[in-house]
Amino acid sequence: MSATISHSFWNNVSYNARRYPLGVAGGIIMIVFVLAAIFASAVAPLDPFNTNAKASLAAPGPVYLMGADMMGRDVFSRLIHGARVSLAVALGATIIGSGIGCAVGLACGYIGGWFDLLVQRVTEVMQALPLLVMALVITASLGPSLRNTIVAIAIPLIPTVARVIRSNVLSLREMPYVEAAKATGMSEWRIAIIHVLPNTLAPLIVLATAQLGSTILTEASLSFLGLGVPEPYPSWGRMLSESAAEYVRTAPWLVIYPGLAISLVVFGSNLLGDALRDALDPRQRD
Amino acid sequence: MLTYLIRRLLLMIVTLFGVSVAIFLLLRIVPGNIADILFDSAGMIDPSEKQKIIADLGLDLPLPLQYWSWLNGVLHGELGFSYVSEKPVIDEILPRIPITARLAGLALVFAICAGVPLGVISAVKQNTKLDYALRVLSLSGLSMPSFWLGLLILMACVRWFGTIPIYDRAPASIWAWIAMLAIPAASVGFRSSALIMRLTRSSMLEILRQDFVRTAKSKGLSDNAVTYDHALRNALLPVITTIGVETAFLMGGLIVTETVFNIPGVARFLVEAIRWRDYPMVQNLVMFIAIVVVTVNLIVDLLYMLVDPRIRYSE
Amino acid sequence: MAPVLEVSGLSTVFHTRRGLVRAVQDVSFSVNAGETLAIVGESGCGKTITALSLMRLIPQPPGEIVSGSVKVDGTDLLKLSEPEMRKMRGSKIAMIFQEPMTALNPLMTVGKQIAEMVMLHDGASKQVARDRAVEMLHHVRIPEPARRAREYPHQMSGGMRQRAMIAMALACKPKVLVADEPTTALDVTIQAQILDLIGDLQKEFGTAVVLITHDLGVVAEVAQRVVVMYAGRKVEEAAVGDLFAHPLHPYPRGLLGSIPRVGSARGLDVSPDERLREITGMVPALNDLPPGCAFAPRCSLADAKCHAQVPPFELKQPDHFAACWQA
């Protein structure tokens, strides 16, 4: 029995893989970055923190594959270690934001009444501020640190997730099979766990994947502005800010590679997110 | 319709009130008293000086009173004084607004002019090579940080023209300022155009499957008449809403773009104020941004009502 | 009198991931001016695809009309170029759809949607077309037509929208009107009004009507001839009275058996024969048809031959055709 289930599961996976080749490409990009982040110390050819005055602004070559920065640190190794920071912030913020958002959304859908109204007003307040502005103000208030950056990016995610989950719960509760479950005397909690939660999972996954990209971009922007992840962590965004405009003329590799890393990983998560949306959320299918 | 408008305006005021409370509180939970920071940074030692700063800034008052005096000032157009320049906040903010407004306007025009037609083409040519190319283009637009795109463009300028465009406070003509702002506007607007393009495409595909499109075809209308007279107008409705949401996002993009291109607008000024811990400035700037976002959303809603008769007549 | 609409050997397929779906196979019929032909069958039997094939509105790909001819006044629509076909749509052959709620453009006034077509086909000026739209709305008995013409679809009820659809379809006085389940989405009381309206306008304009429906009550009320379709093929064709009195094919017999009659509804004195019957089983998937008669798996009379060979569609009684080995 379990053999047939896993067989059909793999059939399903291979069917979807053939159907969404771009999603598979996105998944591969993400896996490569995640592996690089996990095994950063093993993969990186040089120590990302090791400064070397002689190698200052060295052009890309056999030793420094993607060149070296002002302080002679290897750009390639710093990019690999930077993947750790970027992905940790992105995953942390997405998980915290989606988790809280999901809980708030479920609560709104279930408790309703004054609680729902209050949350909706708070949501509107939060949505009156652009993501980056809110993240900036929160970091300004909490002070820059890895943990605070995660928090600053997670909080603005909450309203969007809460909104989607709330409307999902409300429409699910009107579904005939939920009404039927109610009619057979199933308790609200059992209905919530058996029927409603699994059905909000698909949109939650879709939304979270879609947000992964924007959290990476927000982290990069914060760090670029010097208000994100502080030293000594190598962050892609800060690598760009250190180099920014002055190196455009003198050391283009300091501009090209970190931006490429950000764009590639966000591109991968967007491809994956699109495919997941098409596969998991039939209502949004083309 | 009128009741809707009044309701909408009241909600807007409630939202802005909420924003003001939220920002005020956020900036008071800063670790360390503002006076301490100022005190340290100014290198002052005399404790009486510190007491004087606290009193000057009203920091010895209870929080509700502090909040009230700020709100009261905002309502009367008195925004207090910058900690850094010691000039009235309003005098610092006002001259920077038109710069950012022009840049944002130009970026939005670029985003709509590029996004909508390309989205339509992509939908009409669904699953052709052109469609795939446009989809990859829009997805990469959503993936690139706008400040990196800005840097790449600067790099291209260096390569081809040997120089970087420099911001000029008093351009010679309207064409000079369009030329000056075109590059930053395109680099910040690219993301918006990519989003608008994606949305136009999916909305268009959705509409092209609708019954009324088949009806239009059954009347003997040409493909162009069906696509543009019937489908496109319907497909643009959700796009209008996104343009509202996207304006908020554009504000975020402007912060980094103004930084990259060294444009002295309000958006970059916010970052500077945060770095200098100039809290009266931050507080008022964020409030200003919230007002802009909420107002844009109101305008978008009104626009939507103008375009969609179902909403116009429903109240 | 030569028929206005002559369909012969029409076959439409869909190329799908699950293989070739033969939605319509070798369907032929003809309709005279002022006459109504009903095409009856369950959902999925190919009747709507037949209707869309007549208009050449099959989405292509995945659909394709593979053979046959559709002649309107002697012109074969399937041989026309797309621009030539566009000139026919609306002016010579028009269509009414099932869903009046979604079949009209929500952002355009009803009057404009009608006028647009008049301008297109008759080359009328804007003003003339507007007047014609109001006149047509008056024709379909919409009160205050001049005001209604300036309204948007959402301001009208379902029945009124369907009237507006009819006004639009008939605005250029087409020879043929294809009505795909025009009353299915409407309340029963409105259904009768709409059917009466179609009948009256048909008499006035001499339009040939192809009525697609699953409702045998509607057929009895308005049609002169009936074509019964099953799994993409015609299984029986006859005059309405004839078919209702002596259905030959077991499928229409089953369909007629599943309509309750007044006597049987009381449940008293009902012989086993008169009891309300249902047709057991399901319609076969069109990409996986059985080798023989498509109805055989559900047919109580089916024998080995039925399962092995497709029965030919042939004359069984005077002016009464059927495709059945047992009839």
Q: In chain C, what are the domain boundaries?
A: 5-223, 234-261+272-322
pLDDT (average), residues B266-290: 86
* Out of A78-87, A142-151, A275-284, B238-247, least confident range: A275-284
* Predicted local confidence at residue B115, as pLDDT: 92
Residue B170's pLDDT band, with cuts at 50, 70 and 90, is low
Name which residue leads in pLDDT, C145 or B47.
Answer: C145
Give the range of the structural domain holding residue A239, as residue numbers without chain letter: 19-284
pTM attached to this predicted model: 0.83
Which of B215, B228, B237 to mutate: most C Cβ within 10 Å?
B215
Q: Does residue B43 or residue C203 have the better pLDDT?
A: C203
Q: Please tell me the distance from the alpha carbon of residue B195 to that of residue A73, in angstroms, as a whole number.
A: 37
Report whether pLDDT(A50) > 80.
no
Q: Please check the confidence at residue A270 and state whether its pLDDT lies above 80.
A: yes
CB spacing of B211 vs C121 below 8 angstroms = no
For residue C295, how far is the Cα from the chain centroid? 21
Q: Which chains touch C (3 or more CB pairs under 8 A)?
A: B
Query: What share of chain C has pLDDT > 70, as a percent?
Result: 93
Token pair belonging to A215? 């959290």
Q: Which of A60-74, A244-258, B29-43, C54-68 has the lowest mean pLDDT?
A: B29-43
- Quote the pLDDT of residue C269: 47
Cis (ω within 30 of 0) for the bond into C247?
A: no
Residue A276 lies in a domain: yes
Specify the higher pLDDT residue, A272 or B52: A272
Q: With cut-offs at 50, 70 and 90, classify the pLDDT of residue A2.
A: very low
The stretch B60-77 carries a mean pLDDT of 80
Q: Which residues pair with C70 in a beta bridge?
A: C7
Domain contains A11? no
Neighbours of chain A (3+ CB pairs under 8 A): B
How far apart CA C123 and CA C117 sit, in angstroms, is: 9
Find the mean pLDDT for residues B292-303: 88
Task: Name the residue in chain A with its Cα closest to that of B158.
Answer: A249
pLDDT of residue C126: 86
Closest CA to C103 of B208, B212, B214, B221: B212
* Cα–Cα distances in angstroms (integers) from residue C189 to residues B57, B94, C195, in the given order: 77, 66, 10
Structure tokens given for C134: 């109001």
Is C105 within 8 Å of B219 when comparing Cβ atoms? no
Which among B249, B211, B247, B245 is positioned nearest to B230, based on CA atoms?
A: B211
Ranking B71-80, B102-111, B270-279 by mean pLDDT, the lowest is B71-80
| Band of pLDDT at residue A285, cut at 50, 70 and 90 | very low
Residue A14 lies in a domain: no
Helix (H) or strand (E) holding B90: helix B89-93
B309 with C91: Cβ contact below 8 A: no
- Taking contacts as CB-CB distances below 8 angstroms, the residues of chain C near B230 are 105, 108
Q: Smallest CA–CA separation between C109 and chain B, in Å?
A: 9
- What CATH number does the domain containing A171 carry? 1.10.3720.10
B293 shares contact with chain A (CB less than 8 Å): yes
Mean model confidence pLDDT for chain C? 82
Domain C5-223 part of CATH 3.40.50.300: yes
Confidence (pLDDT) at C219: 85
d(CA C232, CA C234): 7
* Partner residue facing B219 (CB), from C83, C117, C155: C117
Find tokens 């003809």 and name the residue: C30
Look at B134 and A76; give whichever has higher pLDDT: B134
**What local confidence, expressed as pLDDT, does residue B39 receive?**
59
Cβ neighbours around A216 below 10 Å, total: 29
Q: Which residues of B touch A143 (CB under 8 A)?
A: 30-31
Counted residue by residue, chain A has a size of 286
Mean pLDDT of C15-30: 84
pLDDT at A1: 41
Residues facing C22 on adjacent strands: C13
Counting Cβ atoms within 10 Å, is residue B29 exposed (0-12), middle (13-18) or buried (19+)? exposed
How far is CA C215 from its chain centroid? 11
- Comparing C-alpha atoms, which of B189, B190, B193, B207 is closest to residue B123? B207
User: What pLDDT sits at residue C259?
Assistant: 60
Asked whether residue C11 carries a pLDDT value surpassing 60, the answer given is: yes
| CA separation for the pair B39, B44 (Å, rounded) | 6
- What residues 235-274 of chain B have any CB closer than 8 A to a CB of chain A? 248-253, 255-256, 259-260, 262, 270-271, 274
Q: Which of A164-173, A199-208, A271-280, C256-265 has the lowest mean pLDDT?
A: C256-265
d(CA C51, CA C30): 13
Search chain A and give the residue with CA nearest B161: A249
Look at the alpha carbons of C120, C161, A174, A158 in this order and tell me if their dihedral is positive or negative: positive
At residue C192, the pLDDT reads 83
Tokens of A185: 């005397």
**Residue C7 forms beta bridges with which residues?**
C29, C70
Which of chain B's residues have a Cβ under 8 Å away from the Cβ of C89?
A: 217-220
CB C95 within 8 A of CB C46: no
Q: Is the pLDDT of residue C222 over 80?
A: yes
Residue B171, number of CB atoms within 10 A of its CB:
14
Who among A128, A252, A262 is closest to B294 (CB)? Answer: A128
- Distance (Å) from the alpha carbon of A181 to chain B's nearest alpha carbon: 33
- Interface list for chain C against chain B, based on CB atoms closer than 8 Å: 55, 57, 83, 86-91, 94-95, 97, 99, 102-108, 116-117, 120-121, 152, 154-155, 165, 168
Please give, one letter per residue, the 3-state secondary structure of chain A. Answer: CHHHHHHHHHHHHHHHHHHCHHHHHHHHHHHHHHHHHHCHHHHCCCCCCCCCHHHCCCCCCCCCCCCECCCCCEHHHHHHHHHHHHHHHHHHHHHHHHHHHHHHHHHHHHHCHHHHHHHHHHHHHHHCCCHHHHHHHHHHHHCCCHHHHHHHHHHHHHHHHHHHHHHHHHHHHCCHHHHHHHHCCCCHHHHHHHHHHHHHHHHHHHHHHHHHHHHHHHHHHHHHCCCCCCCCCCCHHHHHHHHHHHHHHHCCHHHHHHHHHHHHHHHHHHHHHHHHHHHHCHHHCC
Residue whose C-alpha is closest to residue A201's, from A161, A236, A251, A157 = A161
A152 pLDDT band, cuts 50/70/90, is: very high
B233 at C interface, C-beta within 8 A = yes
Domains recognised in chain B with CATH numbers = 2-94 (no CATH), 96-278 (1.10.3720.10)
- What is the per-residue pLDDT for B40? 61
Tell me what the pLDDT averaged over chain B comes to: 83
CB contact under 8 A, C103 and B309: no
- DSSP letter for B81, please: B
In three-state secondary structure terms, C37 is strand
Lowest mean pLDDT among B5-9, B43-47, B200-204: B43-47
CA angle C229, C234, C235 (to 5 degrees): 85
Which tens digits make up the pLDDT trace of C256-295?
A: 776 655 444 444 444 445 555 567 777 777 777 778 788 8
Show the tokens assigned to C256: 């007629």
- Give percent of chain C above pLDDT 90: 2
Whether A264 shows a pLDDT value over 90: the answer reads: yes
Phi–psi pair at C140, nearest 5 degrees: -90, 20
Q: Is residue A62 part of a domain?
A: yes
Q: Which residue has the higher pLDDT, C126 or A245?
A: C126
Calculate the dihedral angle through the C-alpha atoms of B112, B113, B116, B121, rounding to the nearest 10 degrees.
Answer: -160
Q: Return mean pLDDT, chain A.
A: 82
Contact check, Cβ <8 Å, B220/C89: yes
- Among A271-275, B201-205, C19-23, C288-292, top mean pLDDT goes to B201-205
- C96 vs chain B: nearest CA distance in angstroms? 8
Please give the residue that has the higher pLDDT: either C34 or A93. A93
Model confidence at A286, pLDDT cuts 50, 70, 90, reads: very low
CB contacts of B148 in chain A (<8 Å) are 240, 255, 258-259, 262-263
Q: What is the ipTM of this complex?
A: 0.85
Nearest to B19 by CA among A139, C140, A124: A124
Choose the weakest-confidence range: A249-253, C106-110, C164-168: A249-253
Subunits touching B (CB < 8 Å, at least 3 pairs)? A, C
Residue A269 within a domain: yes
One-letter amino acid for residue C290 of the chain = P
**CA–CA separation, C215 and C229 (whole Å):** 13
- For range C55-62, the mean pLDDT: 83
Check the CA dihedral B6-B8-B11-B16 and report its sign: negative
Check whether A12 has a pLDDT greater than 80. no
On whether residue A111 sits in a domain, the answer given is yes
Question: What is the spatial distance between Cα A112 and Cα A117, in angstroms, rounded to a whole number?
Answer: 8
**Cβ-Cβ contacts under 8 Å for A15 (sequence gap 6 or more):** none
List b or e across C239-251, with b for residues whose CB sees 16 or more CB atoms inside 10 angstroms: ebebbbeebbbbb
pLDDT tens-digit readout, C156-215: 888 888 888 888 888 888 889 998 888 877 778 888 888 888 888 888 888 889 999 888
Domain assignment of residue A230, yes or no: yes
Please tell me if residue B125 touches chain C, with a CB cutoff of 8 Å: no
Chain B window 137-176: which residues touch A at a Cβ cutoff of 8 Å? 139-140, 142-145, 147-148, 151-152, 154-155, 158, 164
A153 pLDDT more than 90: yes
- Dump pLDDT digits (tens) for C117-155: 888 888 878 888 898 899 888 888 888 888 998 888 888
Cα(first)–Cα(last) distance of chain B, in Å?
5
* Stretch among A62-71, A133-142, B251-260 having the lowest mean pLDDT: A62-71
Tally the domains of chain A.
Answer: 1
Report the chain C residue with the minimal C-alpha distance to residue B215: C103
Instruction: Report the sign of the C-alpha dihedral through residues B77, B80, B85, B86, in that order.
Output: positive
